[in-house]
Amino acid sequence: MTKPTGHSCAASGCEEQILLSRMMCATHWRILPGNLRDSINTAYRRRNMTKLAQLAVRAVHIIDDAEQMEPLPGFKKVVNDGS
């Protein structure tokens, strides 16, 4: 029996392959506040896809903001140098 293969992390620009049951790779997941992670897990368990989609948008914004402040160690940030 083969498990379904994964998908890529929800964070913008991240191509880390993760399980279908995860929204983000471990690196990005750790950035999220605990209460948001709990809400995401609850929405997932309840198969509340509308709620989950809303939470995903919030999560992606939080990660975008965090990465603008400081690049994560080991995270390859694409710098747009075309000023």
Per CB under 5 A, residues contacting Zn ion are 9, 11, 14, 16, 25, 28
Of the pair 15, 47, the CB lying nearest Zn ion is at 15
Q: How far is the CB of 60 from Zn ion (least distance, A)?
A: 10
Of the pair 17, 54, the CB lying nearest Zn ion is at 17
Of the pair 20, 46, the CB lying nearest Zn ion is at 20
Rounded to whole angstroms, how far apart are CA atoms 18 and 24?
Answer: 7
Rounded (5°) CA angle 44-48-52: 65
